[in-house]
Amino acid sequence: MPEEIIHIKAPIDEKTVLGLRAGQKVLFDGVFYTARDSSHKRLVELIEQGKPLPIDLQGQVIYYVGPTPARPGQVIGSAGPTTSSRMDPYMEPLYKKGLKGTVGKGERSQEVIDLMKRYKAVHFSNIGGAAALVARSIRKCDMIAFEDLGTEAIHRLEVEDFFAIVAYDTLGNDMYKEAIKIWGKEESRIQ
């Protein structure tokens, strides 16, 4: 239902973050940074060592993605989301540095949901496995840090009309739990 979709900018301002509710569909315009398992590990190690980060996380949105190599002439290869929960152990130090949004697929731990309430951040999900389609909303891709990590390196993406849904908001609302409540049938109960 396209009329439900709102446009938001990345990086995200505090007012927008606080106004978003789980289940809201959005189209992003602006800048994402990519990071996944190995780059998260390095970011958190830098923070623990008191060293500067290669990116200023204030207000930023991180997209959990490891794209395929771009063909000549392409901005980026296929670029769908990876599983968000693998990044759960790294979240608090990143929220402390001002991170406001993350984009990936699948549920997150209760611990991260609580952190989002505390640090006023949101998490978005987009469609896993629709990677060639998602790549069409990425207009620019530049290498920023950890180039040796290959697909796991941090890139700066410019996105336009990038579709996602608010999975968890700053009040602790949970789109995934709501979905099961609405759509789950009695006969699927474990006996």
Partner 1 sequence: MRQIEADTITQAVERLCMEANYFLGQDVVDALEQSLKREESPTGQQILRDILENARIGREELSPICQDTGFTIAFVELGQEAEVVGGSLDEAITKGVAQGYTKGYLRASIVQDPLRRINTKDNTPPVIHVEVVPGDRLRLTVMCKGSGCENMSRFAMLTPAQGRKGVVNFVVETVLKGGGRPCPPLIVGVGLGGTFDQATYIAKRSLLRPVGSHHTEAHIKELEEELFEKVNATGVGPQAWGGRTTALAVHVETYPCHIASLPVAVNIECHSHRLKTTIL
Smallest distance, Å, CB 54 to partner 1? 20
Please pick, among 7, 40, 123, 155, the residue that the annotation labels catalytic.
Answer: 40
Contacts (Cβ under 8 Å, ≥6 apart) of 107: 84, 85, 167, 176
Residue 75 near residue 138 (C-beta atoms within 8 A): yes
In the residue annotation, 40 being an active-site residue is answered as yes
Site for partner 1 contains 3 (CB under 8 A):
no
Q: Would you give the binding string for partner 1 spanning residues 36-65, x where CB under 8 A is met?
A: --x--------------------------x
- Strand stretches in 35-84, DSSP E: 61-63
Site for partner 1 contains 139 (CB under 8 A):
no
Site for partner 1 contains 27 (CB under 8 A):
no
> Going by DSSP bridges, is the β-strand pair 6-10/138-145 parallel, antiparallel, or unpaired?
unpaired
Q: State which of residues 105, 122, 145, 166 lies at the interface with partner 1 (CB under 8 A).
A: 105
Beta bridge partners of 98: none
Q: For residue 139, is it left (φ>0), alpha (ψ between -120 and 50) or beta?
A: alpha
Q: State which of residues 32, 66, 87, 138 lies at the interface with partner 1 (CB under 8 A).
A: 66
What values do phi and psi take at 186, rounded to 5? -55, -40
Q: What does the binding site for partner 1 look like in residue numbers (CB under 8 A)?
A: 1, 38, 65-71, 77-80, 82-83, 85, 105-107, 125, 127-133, 135-136, 149-151, 165, 175-176, 178-180, 182-188, 190-191
